[in-house]
């Protein structure tokens, strides 16, 4: 299925229609003021990062910086309930007089998880990042 990639108010957007024949007429009907757009066939290729593009010189261009920011936001959303869980464990450990070293280390790992995004150079590396504990898969 084809779609149209375009920029509106400095935001990259996608437009699709029920069939390829009506794609451009429908786009022009709903967005008559937008003349700089690209008809594309490759939506599945960028499924996780479909909106991480821009239009430059009439071409759709992938923007790694946008993919990195999107990944950072995904990781922030993913870690929020995990940090809350660690906070509860920390309070319980303090109340019981137990060692909190491992809990503090995990909270720090979760807080710093977005730093790993900066060194990624491919979308596969970005997709592979997760807040899951490094030891979860080994248990």
Residues 102 and 119 in one domain: yes
Q: What is the pLDDT of residues 39-65, one digit of tens each?
A: 887 665 556 787 788 888 878 888 899
Q: Are residues 122 and 76 in the same domain?
A: yes
> Do 47 and 78 sit in the same domain of this protein?
no
Burial classification of residue 54, based on how many CB atoms lie within 10 Å of its CB (0-12 exposed, 13-18 middle, 19 or more buried): middle
- The residue count for the chain: 139
What gap in Å lies between CA 64 and CA 58, rounded to an integer? Answer: 19
Question: How many domains, in total, are found in the chain?
Answer: 2
Same domain assignment for residues 57 and 110: no
Same-domain pairing of 92 and 108 = yes
Residue 136's pLDDT band (cuts 50, 70, 90): very low
Q: What is the pLDDT of residues 93-127, one digit of tens each?
A: 999 999 999 999 999 999 999 999 999 999 999 99
Structural domain that includes position 82: 65-138
Q: Work out whether strand 53-56 and strand 59-62 pair parallel, antiparallel, or are unpaired.
A: antiparallel
């Amino acid at each position: 299925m084809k779609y149209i990639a375009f920029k509106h108010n400095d935001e990259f957007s996608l437009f699709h229609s029920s069939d390829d024949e009506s794609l451009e007429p429908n786009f022009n009907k709903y967005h008559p003021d937008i003349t700089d757009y690209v008809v594309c066939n490759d939506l599945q290729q960028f499924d996780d990062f479909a909106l991480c593009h821009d239009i430059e010189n009439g071409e759709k261009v992938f923007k790694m910086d946008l993919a990195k920011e999107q990944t950072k936001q995904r990781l922030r959303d993913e870690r929020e309930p995990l940090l809350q869980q660690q906070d509860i464990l920390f309070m319980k450990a303090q109340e019981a007089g137990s060692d909190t070293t491992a809990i503090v280390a995990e909270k720090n790992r979760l807080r710093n998880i977005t730093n790993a995004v900066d060194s990624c150079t491919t979308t596969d590396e970005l997709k592979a990042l997760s807040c899951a504990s490094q030891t979860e898969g080994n248990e």
